[in-house]
Amino acid sequence: MRITSISAYTVKADVRYELAGGTRHENQLPGSDYLRFAPYPQLYSQRSEAMVVRVETDEGIVGWGESQAPVGPEVAQAIVERVIGPAVLGHDPLATNVRFMDMYGTMRVRGQITGYQMDAIAGVDTALWDIRGKAAGLSVSELLGGRFRDVLPCYVTGLRGHSLDERLEEAVGWVEQGIGIKPCLGFGYDDDSREITAIRDAIGDRGPLFVDGVWKYSYPEAVRIGRVYERNGVEFFESPLLPEDVSGHARLARELDVAIAVGEPLRTRFQFQPWFQAEALDLAQPDLMRNGVSELVKIATVAESFNIDVAPHTGCLTVIGMAGTWQAAAAIPNLFVQEYQPVMLETFNRWLDEPLWVEDGRLVVPTGPGLGIDIDMDRFERDVDSVVTIREDR
Catalytic residue among 25, 91, 162, 313: 313
Residue 237 contacts residue 219 (beta carbons within 8 Å) = no
Strands in 62-67's sheet, in edge-to-edge order, are 62-67, 48-57, 3-13, 384-391
Q: Taken in order 370, 372, 378, 379, is the CA torsion positive or negative? A: negative
Catalytic residue at 313? yes
Q: Using CA atoms, how far apart are residues 21 and 160, in angstroms rounded to an integer?
A: 4
Cβ neighbors of 348 (< 8 A, separation 6 or more) are 13, 318, 319, 320, 322, 383
Residue 205 contacts residue 232 (beta carbons within 8 Å) = no
Residue 377 contacts residue 194 (beta carbons within 8 Å) = no
CA-based nearest residue to 225, from 208, 213, 242, 243: 213
Q: Hey, what's the torsion of the CAs at 285, 289, 294, 299, to 10 degrees?
A: -10
Q: Catalogue the active-site residues.
A: 313
